[in-house]
């Protein structure tokens, strides 16, 4: 779904990130792996916002951090502006850091409490030899202005600011090196509702102004739909569906996406009391021990006796342009398969 | 007579650095089996008010300045702690956002539930054990007889919240106060938990006070909703009235700033300008005035009280309530019912 | 009003307050900590101005040699005379120098090596971590005083030897502490953020991780000084201290006069009290530091 002449900024191919589980008395032995990311493929076009959604344990944060090589991939390729950086030495990686940056979720732990804001923002400039001393400070002030904070903030310390303000400081730091790609890992989840909207607007303005590309990782579907061009849905380490933001909501193709959308509460009492909700049973399986075949089959309201528990579904292109990883996506859409009894719960009047 | 009647409750926190007026005179009534949502952002005082009602404010900083909390004819703020302990956990129960900190990590779940049962209902050990297994089953925990031997860390987040609910309802309380019960949970788990709460309310005729910042959550769960800002209720109405005709500019602002999954995508979100109030300063006039597009001089000078608007049960504390033409009209793109496959 | 303007008004025009300044503020309001500071300041002043405060030299013979019944406190000799006829007060005052020296030197010794080892273990992890920590574990499995005794036996008697021995016993404590703190900080978001910006390893450790990991170490350092004073006193008591019999070290003074407790209680009480007060002062400071650095610990 790339436009005419638009180039691909980032492509991730079959990315796997396994974290070893070690156990032992004196010496640790490798007894298993947490398969946080287990074969993820997607691409992002320059100037686009790709939303990455999923619930806890789905691996979306790991994907974001691995793209930036903060974690090392176990397998797979990460092609950034044409070069595979998956196995690049950290020393080489440092030179690329300027082109991809990250905004973190928790405004209370993502800023060094012992650095003042000016140093915090100017640090990337100093390290990469772009500016130093007064020049660096001036640039820091410029960046603060861009994110809507007073210039005098440079002398202050992170704990003197509110959560929303701290997120902006983090954003200013991310912009310092003029990156092409910004991975925003839950940038608004920890903020109050009224501040979230400010932050989202700010992100969109900055994207316009600086021609940024975003990988927007979040679990709040409504926010992701608002800001993203396309959305990828993850479950237990794999992508289960990719579609444009409007399409994903209007006609979700993967059972997990359907269930996820049905679970999101809508601020409208009339709709809430009349809608039919799909309640998934049970809990998320452990990423250390994922179910065989389709990872979602243990909770899927559309599960079929064949293929679902034995064959891993490929992420494939469907007729309406969605990518979905479900053996029976066409049958579900055509109405040939319906939900089991256990899947659905009738509406309640509030 | 209402089951719970709170009048003019005010709470302050006194520290060396500053005095914070966390709650500034809130009043509400709750009928048996009724569901009330209290909506507000962080720092508005919603959690503090429920802690004050049950007498569990952090001491010595937290103090109730004035007010009444009339439960079944008794003012909870005026009775000694020994009596209050009979009410707490038995007639009025509370569940919190983070179940991990409310559950004792070194005791099994079974032990914790039976302890509560034996203390409040004077049950024998065997009866208590049977009851706790039955309770865990009711809240949807599979294999309950085995799981009562497990420790809190062996449960997932959603399961732990269910355990908390089981403990809370074990003594058949008349009121359950749920303080952000699903904020830390994934959205599919949240749906399960809210559904469970609704079931319990219906089955037990238990009243529910649901404290949250999520408008979607109250929309689906509560009959009435109060919106809180800077320690006061700024609007109080049936949930359907509140969402259809949000008369307080803050309520309107909240609704407009949240992107809706079922509405057409807007160009830009409409945030509420300015920053949330710092609670240490004394507020003159309406606390929301600095951020309000309808503010007038009167707003800045006189504090508005809750007054009737639109109907007898819709109250708003505002000198310049939102006019009709500014009420939100949501262009619904598709409802979930249409998006799904028919049965 | 733009959001920036609204927020500029919010940030009141006070001096920016770093975490350090905040901690200092809290420390200043902590009464018991201030008592500790007063005590230690007194100790330092006494040590520095010993020649001015003490009326006599520490080895100076002023009274008769009466080892069976040393004179008790009088207006002339505030703490009486010791068994060699020396002014006890002067000896206690000069003893302050030694105790202070001992506390400082052994803790500096221990800190230096402990911090280096802890930083290496915490930062590099892997086999470096495992090796260093196993060695630290072995050292910790031997009770402190016994370890010190063993080391002194190895190194020989003498003040320097004792200080090194005591210093060595503190190394594993600091190493562990710092390693733990580094491990905790290493995974935090701001370190990740610094890495994502390209901060190289050395700078990451020195500017980002260490300043946030040192807090528990600082607290431990003050407490370690207290322990050092006790340990050295203990070693001297056991006869492993400086060979020079006239050395005015509090522990040695206690050792020499333990048998005279009935007849010359003042020769035990005063040096003993000096040790106790110094240790108490350091403990109060240590507790005060801990509370002010981590306000959650205050009740």
ipTM: 0.84
- pLDDT class of C247 with cuts at 50, 70, 90: confident
C24 has a pLDDT exceeding 70: yes
What is the torsion angle, in degrees rounded to the nearest 10, for the CA atoms of residue B24, residue B30, residue B33 and residue B38? Answer: -30
Q: Which helix (H) or strand (E) holds A32?
A: strand A29-45
Q: Enter the DSSP assignment of B150.
A: S
- Chain B residues whose CB is inside 8 A of the A339 CB are 341, 343
In this complex, do A152 and C8 lie within 8 Å of one another by their Cβ atoms?
A: yes
Could you tell me the two tokens for B19?
Answer: 């005095």
- pLDDT class of A207 with cuts at 50, 70, 90: very high
B43–chain C Cβ distance below 8 A for any pair: no
Ordered DSSP codes for C192-234: HHHHHHT--HHHIIIIIIHHHHHHHHHHHHHHHHHHHHHHHHH
The pLDDT assigned to B335 comes to 47
pLDDT digits (tens, 9 = 90+) for A259-288: 999 899 988 888 888 887 888 877 788 888
pLDDT above 70: percentage of residues in chain A: 94
The pLDDT assigned to B217 comes to 93
pLDDT digits (tens, 9 = 90+) for B6-36: 999 999 988 877 788 889 999 999 999 999 9
- pLDDT class of A1 with cuts at 50, 70, 90: very low
How many whole angstroms separate alpha carbon A153 and alpha carbon A131?
A: 19
B342 has a pLDDT exceeding 50: no
Q: Are A194 and B250 in contact (CB under 8 A)?
A: no
How many whole angstroms separate alpha carbon B170 and alpha carbon B198?
A: 16
In this complex, do B271 and A226 lie within 8 Å of one another by their Cβ atoms?
A: no
Residue B191's alpha-carbon distances to A122, B140, B197, B202, B341, in angstroms, are 44, 13, 10, 17, 20
Closest residue of chain B to A247, computed from CA coordinates: B339
Instruction: Count how many Cα atoms sit within 13 Å of the Cα of residue B63 in the half-sphere of its side chain.
Output: 10
pLDDT digits (tens, 9 = 90+) for C88-103: 888 888 888 888 888 8
The subunits that touch chain B, with at least 3 C-beta pairs less than 8 Å apart, are A, C
The subunits that touch chain C, with at least 3 C-beta pairs less than 8 Å apart, are A, B
Chain centre to alpha carbon of residue C227 = 7
Stretch A26-33: mean pLDDT: 76
In this complex, do C193 and A110 lie within 8 Å of one another by their Cβ atoms?
A: yes
Q: At what angle do helices C266-293 and C19-28 cross, to 10 degrees?
A: 140
pLDDT above 70: percentage of residues in chain C: 90
In this complex, do C10 and B273 lie within 8 Å of one another by their Cβ atoms?
A: no
pLDDT digits (tens, 9 = 90+) for A144-176: 999 989 988 898 999 888 888 999 999 999 999
B274–chain C Cβ distance below 8 A for any pair: yes
* Best-predicted range by mean pLDDT (A277-281, B332-336, C38-42): C38-42
Stretch A29-48: mean pLDDT: 90
Closest residue of chain A to C12, computed from CA coordinates: A160
The residues that bridge with A101 in the sheet, in sequence order, are A182
- pLDDT class of C64 with cuts at 50, 70, 90: low
Which phi and psi (to 5°) does residue C160 adopt?
A: -60, -40
- Ordered strands of the A75-80 beta sheet: A29-45, A8-23, A75-80, A83-84
How many whole angstroms separate alpha carbon C180 and alpha carbon A83?
A: 38
Which phi and psi (to 5°) does residue C259 adopt?
A: -75, -15
């Amino acid at each position: 779904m790339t436009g005419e002449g638009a180039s691909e900024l980032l492509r991730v191919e079959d990315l796997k990130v396994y974290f070893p589980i070690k156990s032992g008395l004196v010496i640790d032995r490798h007894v298993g792996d947490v398969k946080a990311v287990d074969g993820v493929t997607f691409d992002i076009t320059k100037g686009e916002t790709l939303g990455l959604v999923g619930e806890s344990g789905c691996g979306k944060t790991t994907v974001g951090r691995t793209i930036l090589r903060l974690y090392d991939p176990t397998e797979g390729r990460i092609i950034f502006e044409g070069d595979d950086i998956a196995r690049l030495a950290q020393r080489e990686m440092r030179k690329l850091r300027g082109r991809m940056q990250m905004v973190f979720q928790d405004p209370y732990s993502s800023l060094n409490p012992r650095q003042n804001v000016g140093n915090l923002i100017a640090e990337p400039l100093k390290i990469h030899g772009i500016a130093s001393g007064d020049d660096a400070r001036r640039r820091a002030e410029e960046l603060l202005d861009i994110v809507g904070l007073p210039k005098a903030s440079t002398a202050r310390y992170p704990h003197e600011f509110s959560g929303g303000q701290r997120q902006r400081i983090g954003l200013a730091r991310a912009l310092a090196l003029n990156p092409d790609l910004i991975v925003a890992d839950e940038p608004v989840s920890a903020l109050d509702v009224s501040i979230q909207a400010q932050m989202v607007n700010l992100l969109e303005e900055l994207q316009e102004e600086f021609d940024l590309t975003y990988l927007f990782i979040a679990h709040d579907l409504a926010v992701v739909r608002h800001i993203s061009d396309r959305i990828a849905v993850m479950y237990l380490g794999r992508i289960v569906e990719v579609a444009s933001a409007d399409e994903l909501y209007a006609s979700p193709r993967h059972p997990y996406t359907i269930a996820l959308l049905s679970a999101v509460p809508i601020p409208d009492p009339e709709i809430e009391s009349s809608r039919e909700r799909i309640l998934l049973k049970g809990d998320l399986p452990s990423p250390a021990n994922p179910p065989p075949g389709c990872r979602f089959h243990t909770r899927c309201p559309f599960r079929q006796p064949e293929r679902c528990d034995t064959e891993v579904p490929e992420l494939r292109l469907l007729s309406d342009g969605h990518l979905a990883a479900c053996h029976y996506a066409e049958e579900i859409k055509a109405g040939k398969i319906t939900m089991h009894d256990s899947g659905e719960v009738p509406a309640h009047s509030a | 007579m209402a089951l719970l009647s709170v009048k003019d409750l005010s709470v302050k926190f006194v520290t060396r650095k500053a005095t914070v007026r966390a709650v500034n005179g809130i009043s509400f009534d709750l009928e048996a089996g009724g569901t009330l949502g209290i909506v507000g952002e962080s720092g508005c005082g919603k959690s503090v008010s429920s802690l004050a009602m049950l007498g569990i404010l952090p001491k010595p900083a937290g103090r109730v300045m004035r007010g009444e909390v009339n439960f079944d004819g008794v003012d909870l703020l005026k009775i000694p702690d020994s009596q209050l302990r009979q009410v707490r956990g038995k007639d009025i129960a509370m569940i919190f956002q983070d179940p991990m900190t409310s559950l004792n990590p070194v005791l099994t779940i079974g032990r914790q539930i039976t302890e509560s049962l034996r203390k409040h209902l004077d049950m024998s050990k065997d009866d208590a054990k049977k009851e706790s297994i039955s309770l865990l089953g009711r809240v949807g925990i599979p294999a309950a007889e085995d799981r009562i031997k497990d420790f809190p860390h062996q449960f997932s987040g959603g399961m732990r919240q269910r355990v908390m609910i089981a403990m809370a309802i074990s003594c058949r309380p008349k009121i359950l106060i749920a303080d952000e019960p699903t904020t830390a949970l994934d959205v599919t788990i949240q749906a399960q938990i809210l559904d469970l709460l609704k079931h319990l309310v219906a089955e037990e005729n238990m009243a529910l006070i649901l404290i949250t910042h999520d408008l979607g959550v109250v929309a689906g769960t509560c009959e009435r909703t109060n919106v809180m800002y800077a320690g006061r209720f700024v609007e109080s109405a049936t949930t359907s009235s509140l969402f259809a005709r949000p008369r307080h500019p803050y309520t309107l602002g909240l609704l407009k700033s949240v992107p809706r999954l079922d509405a057409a995508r807007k160009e830009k979100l409409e945030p509420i300008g300015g920053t949330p109030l710092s609670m240490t300063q004394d507020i003159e006039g309406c606390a929301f005035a600095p951020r309000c597009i309808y503010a007038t001089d009167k707003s800045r000078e006189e504090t508005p009280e809750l007054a009737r608007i639109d109907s007898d049960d819709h109250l708003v504390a505002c000198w310049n309530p939102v006019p009709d033409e500014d009420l939100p009209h949501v262009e619904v793109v598709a409802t979930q019912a249409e998006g799904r496959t028919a049965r | 009003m733009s959001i920036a303007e609204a927020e500029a008004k919010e940030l009141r025009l006070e001096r920016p307050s770093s975490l350090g300044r905040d901690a200092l503020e809290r420390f200043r309001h902590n009464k018991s900590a201030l008592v500790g500071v007063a005590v230690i300041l007194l100790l330092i002043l006494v040590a520095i101005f010993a020649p001015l405060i003490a009326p006599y030299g520490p080895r100076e013979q002023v009274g008769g040699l009466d080892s069976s019944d040393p004179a008790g406190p009088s207006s002339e000799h505030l703490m009486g005379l010791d068994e060699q006829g020396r002014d006890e007060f002067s000896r206690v005052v000069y003893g302050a120098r030694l105790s202070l020296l001992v506390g400082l030197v052994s803790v500096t010794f221990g800190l230096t090596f402990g911090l280096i080892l802890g930083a290496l273990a915490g930062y590099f992890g892997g086999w470096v971590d495992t090796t260093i920590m196993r060695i630290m574990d072995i050292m910790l499995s031997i009770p402190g005083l016994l370890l010190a005794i063993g080391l002194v036996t190895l190194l020989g008697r003498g003040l320097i030897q004792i200080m090194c021995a005591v210093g060595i016993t503190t190394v594993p404590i600091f190493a562990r502490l710092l390693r733990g703190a580094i491990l905790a900080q290493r995974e935090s978001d701001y370190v990740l953020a610094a890495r994502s910006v390209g901060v190289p390893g050395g700078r990451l450790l020195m500017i980002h991780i260490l300043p946030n990991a040192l807090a528990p170490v600082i607290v431990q350092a003050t407490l370690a000084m207290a322990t050092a004073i006790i340990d050295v006193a203990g070693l001297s008591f056991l006869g492993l201290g400086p060979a020079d019999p006239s050395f005015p070290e509090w522990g040695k003074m206690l050792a020499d006069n333990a048998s005279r407790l009935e007849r010359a209680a003042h020769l035990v009480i005063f040096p003993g009290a000096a040790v106790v007060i110094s240790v108490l002062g350091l403990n109060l400071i240590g507790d005060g530091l801990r509370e002010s650095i981590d306000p959650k610990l205050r009740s």
